[in-house]
Amino acid sequence: MQIRKAFTFEAAHVLPHHPGKCARLHGHSYRLEVAVSGPLHSDGPAAGMIEDFELISRVVKTSVVNALDHRSLNELIDNPTAEHIALWIWRHLAPDLPGLKQITLWETRSACVVLRSGDPLIGGG
Ligand SMILES: Nc1nc2c(c(=O)[nH]1)N=C([C@H](O)[C@H](O)COP(=O)(O)OP(=O)(O)OP(=O)(O)O)CN2
Ligand SMILES: [Zn+2]
């Protein structure tokens, strides 16, 4: 079983190597979907849950969304393609969110990147 929670943030970027319009400063309303899997807690406040949506929300906002929202991504990430942004998000989120299975980052309404645990691009697994 897997649970998912979605977040949004607004950010600007430049893709310096892109041959087209994306080499110019522009922005996106990003949608980030975070998927967590694992067994159900058997007792305590998260009994019957893989993880409390409230806890996921708190962790994702603290570790990722607050850092990226209304920012120029080039100040944080070299060549901030959707792929590089997703890797940055994973590296900042995984240590604080056990059970993180997958993130999906929608850059536009029609374009997204999916990153799953075990992907060789994620350093250290
Ligand atoms: N593999 C990638 N390709 C592109 C990225 C990226 O991060 N990874 N980024 C961009 C641009 O930053 C931007 O996302 C534009 O993408 P595009 O899908 O071309 O956006 P449009 O809305 O203009 O596309 P439509 O043709 O209107 O659907 C480019 N490529
Ligand atoms: Zn872009």
ipTM of model: 0.94
Neighbours of 82 (CB within 10 A): 19
Contact 60, 7 (CB under 8 A): yes
Q: What is the DSSP letter of 62?
A: I
Out of 81, 89, 105, 113, mutate this one to test ligand 1's pocket (max ligand atoms within 8 Å of CB): namely 81
Question: What is the best residue among 108, 110, 113 to mutate for testing ligand 1's pocket, by most ligand atoms within 8 Å of CB?
Answer: 108
pTM assigned to the model? 0.96
Confidence tier at 27 by pLDDT (50, 70, 90): very high
- Retrieve residue 117's tokens: 């645990």
The residues pairing with 51 across neighbouring beta strands, listed in sequence order, are none
Q: Which domains does the chain have, with CATH numbers?
A: 2-116 (3.30.479.10)
Q: What is the pLDDT of residues 100-114, one digit of tens each?
A: 999 999 999 999 999
Of all ligands present, the nearest one to the C-alpha of 12 is: 2
Q: β-strands 71-72, 2-13: how paired?
A: parallel
What are the backbone angles phi and psi of residue 14, rounded to the nearest 5°? -130, 135
